[in-house]
Amino acid sequence: MVSVAGLAGIAAVLALLGRYVVPTLWRMYTSPLRLLPGPSSPSALWGFVKVLHAAEASVPQEQWVEQYGPTISFKLMFGIRRLWTVDTRALNHIIHHTAIYQKPMAARYHLSRVLGPGVLIAEDQQHKNQRHVLNPAFGPSQLKEITEIFTEKANQLRDLWMAEISKAGGGPTRVNGLSWMSRATLDIIGLAGQHIPLRRALDDPLTLPGAGFNYHFEGLNPSGQTNELSEALGVLFNQGGRAQLFGFLQGMLPPLRLIRTEHTRREAAALAVMQRIGRQLIAEKKAALLADAREKGRGVRRRDVADRDLLTLLIKANMATDIPESERLSDEEVLAQVPTFLVAGHETTSVATTWCLYQLTQSPDVQAKLREELLQVPTDSPSMDELNALPYLDMVVKETLRHHTPVPASGRVAMKDDVIPVNTPFTDKKGRTRDHIEIKKGDLLFIPIQSINRSKELWGEDAHEFKPDRWEHAMEKTSQVPGVWANQLTFLGGPHACIGYRFSVVETKALLFALVRAFEFELAVKTEEIKKKGDIVQRPVRVEDQKPDLPLLIKPYRAF
């Protein structure tokens, strides 16, 4: 006779099958993606997961596109197919129809667990409201104000590297470029709010519009010690292989989220630190705005608050009395923006700048030409306009972000049935020529950022080579790319394009300006000992131990 506990267990299994397994199997056998051309799966359970994990991001997919055409599908775990297309008309449709194509459940679970309902997670009207509030913090006039912070931190990093060289006796000195870049960019996003340099404070001791949170990470302190928020970020974004796999399964199967492991306990403690510090920053800003409002004898009003740093804009949208209720951000939404921009505001920029330094070690002619241009500038603290007026620096940054795309792809799920138009017709598995892609609700797809950025069809036969000079002349075919910046998909496009892309580009330029003027760079190991690795962001890792690192040899440039 079956016990009550046994019956309950059977019921739970049946519920799990009915809620998650059966719909998955139904989608496998009914999705129109199964009729698209593409490779045969090597595993019924894993699909191409192991193949893709072992390879550099996008490389297998690019090989399949060469073999099967620009629009394909392939299986991942549990036999679920993903659409992969490099057809620019199709991608334009996907990127701009954000009500139909949204982040998949698993991705939303992982990101929301760490970041909360911030602008990276939000969809539909919630996303529009948050973008409306945050946009002023990232406009050109804002960036002009905070470029000084970029150059100050870049020069601080330069001076610390000079000190490292002195300690080593003045000769070529080995540094971990990735670690130092991460520390510098984390400092910048933390301070790019109301940090006031001394000379600015003397002129205007009250305000400095910015885009950050007035939080001192002290990443560039000489001792190398980190604070509790830096350590919390490290816990949340440096998972091991098993933790990543279990996390993926939790995203796919919500009942697994009830299981607690050592990693989830450490994660919970790190999240508590982030939330405590976020609430502290918000409380301090609220108190300052309320104190100012009391002095004026009225409540906080949007039109009375002149500062445009992120935290001020967020608090204003939460508590100002003259904001319509439909535009007001909840306390949870305000809190969520703090980790969102601390993470998104430094990770991709630090990795992009690191890859640029790597590429300069592989292209000494580019390094010399760039340094020659930078040394013509008569100041070590250039303005945003001065940085943007340097044509070769601009070409090097564009080519780095094209060739070394920090985030290689972005996933989406169809929220309803749709038909995606294509530029290039394809033949499906039934032998029919199709001028569109049929999509059913629940179908999954990728936006192939890196593959578009190095497509030979768009960029020419040398698309996989690092050539900054390609930017000297307009490339007609790349105008088809639906990206927000430089005819590439690095910062995506459409309503969900990266809100801080200008911030990232100017910050990268400021870091390169200070470092390339001051140092000559060589790779401290053989080229084949470094490869790209990362599930979300592609970092350089050492082949021998798979640890994120870019070992550089630096020495002072003689003319600096």
Per DSSP, helices labelled H in 206-330 are 228-237, 241-252, 262-296, 310-319
**Residue 185 near residue 353 (C-beta atoms within 8 A):** yes
> Which residues lie closer than 8 Å to 556 by C-beta, 6 or more apart?
162, 165, 518, 519, 520
CA distances, 305 to each of 163, 210, 314, 468 (Å):
42, 14, 12, 43
**Percentages of the chain per state (helix, strand, coil), in multiples of 5:** 55, 10, 30
Q: How far apart are CA 282 and CA 314, in angstroms?
A: 9
Q: How far apart are CA 471 and CA 465, in angstroms?
A: 13
Q: Residue 498, annotated ligand binder?
A: yes
> Which residues lie closer than 8 Å to 343 by C-beta, 6 or more apart?
114, 115, 233, 237
CA distances, 119 to each of 133, 329, 352 (Å):
10, 11, 22
CA distances, 194 to each of 154, 206, 213, 284, 532 (Å):
18, 9, 7, 13, 36
Q: How far apart are CA 232 and CA 234, in angstroms?
A: 5
Q: How far apart are CA 298 and CA 311, in angstroms?
A: 21
The angle at the Cα of 205, spanning 337 to 504, to the nearest 5 degrees, equals 35
Give CA 11 to chain center in angstroms: 42
- Strand spans (E) along 455-538: 519-523, 530-533
- Strand spans (E) along 35-78: 71-75
Q: How far apart are CA 510 and CA 516, in angstroms?
A: 10
- Strand spans (E) along 145-239: 173-176
The angle at the Cα of 264, spanning 259 to 267, to the nearest 5 degrees, equals 155
Q: How far apart are CA 300 and CA 306, in angstroms?
A: 12
Tell me the CB-side half-sphere exposure of residue 429, using CA atoms within 13 A. 11
Q: Which residues pair with 522 in a beta bridge?
A: 553
- Would you state the torsion angle of the CA atoms of residues 279, 282, 288, 290, taken in this order, to the nearest 10 degrees? -90
Question: What are phi and psi for residue 464, nearest 5 degrees?
Answer: -90, 5
Biggest alpha carbon distance in the chain?
88
**Residue 300 near residue 306 (C-beta atoms within 8 A):** no
Binding site feature residues: 498
Binding site feature residues for heme: 498
